[in-house]
């Protein structure tokens, strides 16, 4: 791993028990995951880490070398009398990943990344009011451009889209893009000729924070605040998906009604008083526009309190340990974040609320792209 490489976090717990016929693929993923997280290792190291036999590990490593995913890297001497062992490692240069972020309402953002999540090339395509099929065409063109720009073969394309996305990468609904029941992953796999993985943008950011950032897997929620408000939740080492693939959609929980001191505003979803109507970036900017610093702080704190009220039952139901906010620091990191934490603590059992951390996420604005790269590592290699 180069000195500039990101620190790699822990592996997500597999949510499905491996069946005998899947054992080989499962073992292959374990070997790749060990090399991904531990770095260069001997075959004996891999056998120790995975619990697989030396023979099984040697077989799998030979196959991975033949595929070009793993290379031999010289010899390490273990102890004074130990036999020299050949080190093997993931050939991070063998493949690159293309990632796309469809969160912004004015442009599509895409990048070529290394297998360690480092950004190599970044490109954007302005939406200019496009919707529906026209967005698909623009997306195909940008993705094809990035696949061409990659210096190595592309392992896959990862796409983070707003909206409700099922496990096959079908967009159930993404009203902002004018997409309904759109088999995006299948369609783009055919058009681009490389495997394409699609997931919700908030879930993708949560995966990025978990794999490359510092989020703990025991109970974390990443609240993404941009044009809309969404959240991705990792509990007991697995992403929470939910019955309708819509887990984490807290943006459309009602926080203001006719009884509230504030007038409930109209929401894009057609209802009134949703969390998104006060917490989205445009709503926050409108709220603080023209205010002096003291009034601005008070206005942000009042929104933070509403966020805390919406989060308290979620924190309690799932016993979350930390909540990460992702979005513009100048709006979120301060009175808003503090008021949200106070509100959660005031409304939950001390055993839960007092131990809760509420902080800004550690990935930057390209964190969704990093998460989209994890979709590909996970989908193609079983590595997260
Ligand atoms: Zn709404």
CA of residue 167 to ligand 1 center, whole Å: 24
* Predicted model pTM: 0.80
List of the chain residues with pLDDT < 50: 1-10, 14
**Residues 32-83 pLDDT 10s:** 888 887 888 999 999 999 999 999 999 999 999 998 889 998 887 666 666 7
CATH 3.60.20.10 fits 96-205+366-381, yes or no: no
**CA of residue 168 to ligand 1 center, whole Å:** 26
Q: What pLDDT, on a 0 to 100 scale, did the predictor assign at position 19?
A: 58
Q: What spacing in Å lies between the alpha carbon of 142 and ligand 1's midpoint?
A: 31
Domains 96-205+366-381 and 217-360 share a fold: yes
pLDDT value, residue 192: 94
* Helices 281-288 and 293-318, packing angle to 10 deg: 150
| Distance in angstroms (rounded) separating the CA atoms of residues 116 and 36 | 8
Measured in Å, residue 183 CA sits from the centre of ligand 1 at 25
Using the mean position of ligand 1's atoms as its centre, give its distance from the Cα of residue 281 in Å.
Answer: 15
* Residues whose Cβ atom is located within 5 A of ion ligand 1: 252, 267, 269, 274
Domain spans in the chain, listed from the N-terminal domain onward: 20-90, 96-205+366-381, 217-360
39 Cα: distance to centroid of ligand 1 (angstroms): 45
- Tell how far the Cα of 277 is from the centroid of ligand 1, in angstroms: 7
Distance (Å, whole) CA 306 – CA 276: 11
- The structure tokens 């909540």 sit at 323
CA 230 to ligand 1 center in whole angstroms? 11
Task: State the burial class of residue 229 (Cβ atoms within 10 Å of its Cβ: 0-12, 13-18, 19+).
Answer: buried
Q: What's the longest Cα–Cα distance across the chain?
A: 78
- Kindly give the distance from the C-alpha atom of residue 265 to the centroid of ligand 1, in angstroms, as a whole number: 10
Q: Could you say which DSSP state residue 249 is in?
A: -
pLDDT value for 7: 44
Distance 193 CA to ligand 1 centre (A): 37
The highest-level CATH class for domain 20-90 is mainly alpha
pLDDT in tens, 154-176: 989 999 998 899 989 999 998 87
**Structure-token pair, residue 295:** 């009034």
Instruction: Match domain 217-360 to its CATH number in 2.40.160.20, 3.40.50.720, 3.30.420.40, 3.40.640.10.
Output: 3.30.420.40
Q: What span, in angstroms and rounded, lies between the C-alpha atoms of 73 and 215?
A: 32
10 Å CB burial of residue 19 (0-12, 13-18, 19+) is: exposed
pLDDT at residue 12 in the model: 55
């Amino acid at each position: 791993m180069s000195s500039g490489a990101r620190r790699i976090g822990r592996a997500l717990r597999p949510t499905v028990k491996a069946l005998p016929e899947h054992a080989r693929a499962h073992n292959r993923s374990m070997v790749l995951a060990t090399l991904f997280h531990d770095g260069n290792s001997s075959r004996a190291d891999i056998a120790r880490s995975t619990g697989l036999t030396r023979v099984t590990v040697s077989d799998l490593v030979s196959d991975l070398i033949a595929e070009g995913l793993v290379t031999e890297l010289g010899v390490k001497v273990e102890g004074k009398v130990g036999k020299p062992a050949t080190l093997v490692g993931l050939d991070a240069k063998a493949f690159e990943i293309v990632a796309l972020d469809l969160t912004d309402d004015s442009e599509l953002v895409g990048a070529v990344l290394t297998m360690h999540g480092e950004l190599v090339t970044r490109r954007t395509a302005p939406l200019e009011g496009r919707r529906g099929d026209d967005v698909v065409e623009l997306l195909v063109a940008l993705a094809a451009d990035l696949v061409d720009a990659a210096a190595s073969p592309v392992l896959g394309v990862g796409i983070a889209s707003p909206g409700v996305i099922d496990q096959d990468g079908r967009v159930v609904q993404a009203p902002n893009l004018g997409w309904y029941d759109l088999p995006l992953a299948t369609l783009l796999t055919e058009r681009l000729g490389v495997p394409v993985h699609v997931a919700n943008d908030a879930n993708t950011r949560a995966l990025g924070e978990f794999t490359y950032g510092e989020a703990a897997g025991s109970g974390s929620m990443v609240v993404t605040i941009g044009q809309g408000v969404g959240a991705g939740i990792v509990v007991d080492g697995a992403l929470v998906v939910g019955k309708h693939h819509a887990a984490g959609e807290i943006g459309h929980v009602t926080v203001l009604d006719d009884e509230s001191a504030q007038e409930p505003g109209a929401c894009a979803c057609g209802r009134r008083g949703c969390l998104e109507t006060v917490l989205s970036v445009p709503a926050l900017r409108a709220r603080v526009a023209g205010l002096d610093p003291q009034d601005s702080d008070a206005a942000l704190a009042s929104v933070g309190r509403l966020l805390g009220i919406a989060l308290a039952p979620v924190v309690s139901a799932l016993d979350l340990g930390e909540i990460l906010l992702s979005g513009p620091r100048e709006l979120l990191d301060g009175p808003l974040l503090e008021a949200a934490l106070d509100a959660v603590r005031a409304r939950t059992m001390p055993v839960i609320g007092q131990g809760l951390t509420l902080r800004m996420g550690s990935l930057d604005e390209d964190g969704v792209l990093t998460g989209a790269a994890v979709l590909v590592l996970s989908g193609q290699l079983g590595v997260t």
